[in-house]
A and B are shown apart, each in its own frame.
Chain A
């Protein structure tokens, strides 16, 4: 129901789109991704339906779509026919709602999408259908060419040809490490398994500030399912699992709907496209442990065990879920597959640069005007992303650093703004591509505090299995805490650096091995801030509360 006193027209169920019987002249796409939904986009949708009906516009459609990208300015409504985007269409804001209806009736208003720098620098492959289709209607996905790639693959290509296409596209794992996807697929395909193989979609996105996988699953779930089925065909697997975190209830709901609808339509299940190939998908909901994004921990979690990593080899490609060869790919990687098969490897590999081909989705967050979801060709510079797409810092704030790669990533300073965003450059700069979180920080940020924040995260999310990660991160957090309180000595800083190296070298899984990265990278680019805390007993950004040294001395907390 909508607000009290405004009855919903009886002929239309609450969530049904408003679709005119005749030809459509204009349509309103109302963003229903988590960000806009949290600002009552569902009420906006209902109000628009009512107003359009009240105005007697019989050739106008109103539909629910996935993420439109510019999350900072939600709730968003796009009118693709006129190429305009209406932002901040708040529920109950009559002027804004009427503005949209005017726009639908042929009036001006909103901002032009084509010339807006936020949109014009983007190249959409993974997000191609996000904001175009209703994520809960398989008809919408099929109408934009969905499942054509799967049909093409299973009816006109051999599995080896699919593998070849993916390999030649040059796509690398979008979950963080950047392992060549074609190589991974080929390894699984070549492993003999008389008792089946599995395809697992890793949707356990847990980096602070990252929401790429969530948006894709919420906005175009069928695309991920199609990618999984194509992967299954290529590697010889008939079962797939999507592992999603319980914190993403909307993604789980839409995915459940998508699986049911795809099975109903015969797009998943036995005998896809009248061939002998069958593929079914199940959802597994994670309990919210960050470490379950690590592939061996994820497998343990699907099997019903405690989510702890195990040493590799054997890699899941050889022995994964229930000991069977298992292909694990990130949501974004799998969502790229239908386009790669549909348009061909050459088309895809023409995007990007060097060894980093294709596009990457980033969740732009922090001190940036256009917070939101973006997809850019790899090789764009940080400056282009932060200042042109992101629109710079709000209120003319001064840029200080940009953090990529979440708790295993690093902070890059202003001097690296012209660096190209690709796997190699980021690694060289001491960060990682990661899953796509990108947090912009202004000069009101204390870098020691940032390092402490991420270390606190790693300490809490450590599974507790191996000693370096379990105790090492806790001890590093303790040292960082002392630095931010103005109690640490130079010896303790040296201790911190030595611990960082040891935790990186000896931890069991990527979570532990990557956990010192925020410390190491901030020490590399912002060492003077650490020294100011230690030597001068002050926090240059004014964030950390320094404890009086005399009192600490008296309490025996610092060395004289």
Chain B
């Protein structure tokens, strides 16, 4: 395993071959906002919040899946990147129902944290406000599709850590929805082990434990010793 040197935000840093820009940046205390990324799970590069600029390249690179190169010069914060990130968070807020004041995850929500981090103060785009459903058929947990951001952390934790693959996604575009098994109610799923890992990795209030109030809805990441669970928050 050889060591490569590169520059991130003007700082000379070193990282191992095969490590991603995100890994090396976080090792060196350089924050990069993420949403779909959760250490311990595979990366899918879906939320596009971690895009960075690499000198000499016109396109942008998602830091979570781009491996480092010798002599690479990475810019994490620029006017263009800040505008793009703000737009991405705005798009998420306009896609479904993310009204914090009536959400169980209020103040324990990574989407809310992101809005603060990228300086999103208002929406310029109209709200799409789809009529998504709430599935409360499971005896201990529920899913409110109105809060879902399709980060697929739950899909991956269920598949890769629990090994159940109860969750997946169906549909296209803004019609895409999380499903349990082949689209049956969660409570009827016979693959779900009721482990609750999906609830713990959910960045928003989409997946919740029944009977918990707003103040109690804090995610218990240490519950997942297999993940480097303390690292998730972006604040």
Instruction: Determine which of A310, A466, A495, A508 lies in contact with B125 in the assembled complex, contact meaning CB atoms within 8 Å.
Output: A495
Pick the contact of B175 from A464, A473, A475, A507 — CB < 8 Å? A464
Provide the A484-511 mask, 1 if CB < 8 A to any CB of B, else 0.
Answer: 0000000000010011001001111000
> Which residues of chain A from 259 to 314 have any CB-CB distance to chain B below 8 Å in the complex?
289, 291, 306, 310-311, 313
Chain B residue with minimal CB distance to A307? B172
B128 at the interface (CB under 8 A from A): yes
A363 to B: closest C-beta gap in Å:
25
Q: Does B126 contact A (CB under 8 A)?
A: yes
Q: 1/0 per residue B53-91: CB within 8 Å of A?
A: 000000110100111000000000000100110011001
Which residues of the other chain, B, contact A470 by a CB distance below 8 angstroms? 95, 150, 173-174, 176
Interface 9-mer from A170-178, A210-218, A383-391, A455-463? A455-463
Are B173 and A507 closer than 8 Å at their CB atoms? no
Q: Is A471 an interface residue (CB 8 A)?
A: yes
For residue A465, CB closer than 8 A to chain B, the reply is yes
Give the chain B neighbours of A182 by CB distance below 8 A.
Answer: none
| A256 CB-CB contact with B under 8 Å | no
Given contacts A311-B62, A466-B48, A508-B46, contact A473 B173 (CB under 8 A): yes
Q: Given A461-B173, A464-B169, A502-B87, are A471 and B44 also a contact pair (CB < 8 Å)?
A: no
On chain B, the residues within 8 Å of A468 by CB distance are 48, 87-88, 91
Is the beta-carbon distance between A507 and B172 smaller than 8 angstroms?
no
Query: A474 at interface (Cβ–Cβ under 8 A)?
Result: yes
Q: Which of A311, A459, A465, A499 contacts B87 (CB 8 A)?
A: A499
How many angstroms between the C-alpha atoms of A478 and B123 in the bound complex?
15
Roughly how many angstroms separate A3 CA and B172 CA in the complex, as a whole number?
A: 44
Residues A495 and B175 in contact, CB atoms below 8 Å apart: no
Contact A464 B84 (CB under 8 A): no
A472 contacts the other chain (Cβ, under 8 Å)?
Answer: yes
Taking a contact as CB atoms under 8 Å apart, the answer to whether A462 and B91 are in contact is no
What is the bound-complex CA distance between A459 and B128, given in angstroms?
A: 13
Q: Is A459 within 8 A of B173, CB to CB? A: yes
Name the residue on B nearest A482 (C-beta): B126
A508 to B44, alpha carbons, bound, how many Å?
A: 10
- Between A471, A472, A473, the greatest number of chain B beta carbons within 10 A of the residue's beta carbon is seen for A471
Say how far A157's CB is from chain B's closest CB, in angstroms. 37
Residue in B closest to A476 when the chains form the complex, CB atoms? B125
In Å, the complex CA distance between A475 and B174 comes to 10
* Chain B residues closer than 8 Å to A310, beta-carbon distance: 44-45
Tell yes or no: A467 within 8 A of B by CB. Answer: yes
The reply to whether the CB of B171 lies closer than 8 angstroms to some CB of chain A is: yes
Residues of A within 8 A of B51 (CB): 505-506
Q: Which residues of B contact A502 (CB under 8 A)?
A: 83-84, 87-88
A473 to B59, CA, bound (A): 19
Q: Which of B47, B65, B80, B173 contacts A460 (CB 8 A)?
A: B173
Are B48 and A464 interface neighbours, CB within 8 A?
A: no
A467-B83 in contact (CB<8A): no
Query: Which of A306, A311, A464 contacts B45 (CB under 8 A)?
Result: A311
In the bound complex, do residue A463 and residue B172 qualify as a contact, i.e. CB atoms below 8 Å apart? yes
B172–A467 contact, CB under 8 A?
Answer: no
The answer to whether A464 touches B125 (Cβ under 8 A) is no
What CA separation (Å) do A289 and B171 show in the bound complex?
A: 11
Q: Are B92 and A475 in contact (CB under 8 A)?
A: no
* Residue total for B at the interface (Cβ-Cβ under 8 A): 35
* Contact A475:B94 (CB < 8 A) given known A495-B124, A502-B83: yes
Query: Residue B144 at the A interface, CB < 8 A?
Result: no
A464 with B150: CB separation less than 8 A: yes
Q: For chain B residues 128-162, which have a beta carbon within 8 Å of chain A? A: 128, 149-150
Contact A472 B91 (CB under 8 A): yes
List, in ascending order, chain A residues with CB within 8 A of B125's CB: 475, 478, 495, 499
Complex: A508 Cα to B125 Cα, angstroms: 22
B209 interfacial contact with A, CB 8 Å: no
Partner among B44, B92, B128, B169 whose Cβ is within 8 Å of the Cβ of A474: B128
The CB with the most chain A CB atoms within 10 A, among B80, B124, B149, B173, is that of B173
Bound-state CA distance A473–B80 (Å) is 19
Kindly provide the distance from the CB of A526 to the nearest chain B CB, expressed in whole angstroms. 24
Q: Is the CB of A464 within 8 A of B87?
A: no
- Residue in chain A with minimal CB distance to B59: A505
Whether B48 pairs with A508 at a CB distance below 8 angstroms is: yes
B190 → A minimal CB distance (Å):
21
B176–A471 CB distance below 8 A: no
Q: B173 to chain A: which residues have CB within 8 Å?
A: 459-464, 470, 473-474
Assess whether B168 is interfacial by the CB under 8 Å rule: yes
A506 and B88 contact, CB distance less than 8 A: yes
With both chains docked as a complex, state the minimum distance between the C-beta of B46 and any C-beta of chain A, in angstroms. Answer: 5
Write out the residue numbers on chain A whose beta carbons fall within 8 Å of the beta carbon of B168.
306
Do A505 and B60 form a contact, CB below 8 Å, given A471-B94, A471-B95, A474-B128?
yes
Residue in B44, B84, B128, B149 whose CB lies within 8 Å of A505:
B84
Contact B126 A478 (CB under 8 A): yes
Please indicate the chain B residues that have their CB under 8 angstroms from the CB of A475 in the complex. 91, 94, 125-126, 128
Chain A min CB distance to B41 (Å): 14
Cβ 8 A contact of B48, one of A460, A461, A478, A506: A506
B4 to chain A, nearest CB (A): 16
Contact A467-B91, Cβ < 8 Å, known A506-B48, A506-B84: yes
CA distance A537 to B102 in the complex (A): 40
B83:A461 contact, CB within 8 angstroms: no
**Complex Cα gap A134–B171 (Å):** 40
A394 → chain B closest CB, angstroms = 35
B128 proximity list for chain A (CB < 8 A): 471, 474-475, 478
Q: Please tell me which one of the listed residues A313, A462, A465, A478 contacts residue B46 in the complex, with CB atoms under 8 A apart.
A: A465
List which A434-466 residues lie within 8 A (CB) of chain B. Answer: 459-466
Q: Is the CB of A289 within 8 A of B88?
A: no
Contact status A471-B46, CB under 8 Å: no
7 contacts between A and B (CB under 8 A): A289-B172, A311-B62, A463-B176, A466-B45, A470-B173, A474-B128, A478-B126
Chain B residues engaging chain A, CB cutoff 8 angstroms:
44-48, 51, 59-60, 62, 65-67, 80, 83-84, 87-88, 91-92, 94-95, 124-126, 128, 149-150, 168-169, 171-176
Known: A313-B67, A499-B125, A502-B88. 9 other contacts (CB 8 A): A460-B172, A464-B171, A466-B45, A468-B48, A470-B95, A470-B176, A471-B128, A475-B126, A502-B83
A interface vs B, CB < 8 Å? 289, 291, 306, 310-311, 313, 459-468, 470-475, 478, 495, 498-499, 502, 505-508
Top-3 shortest CB links A-B: A464-B176, A311-B45, A471-B91
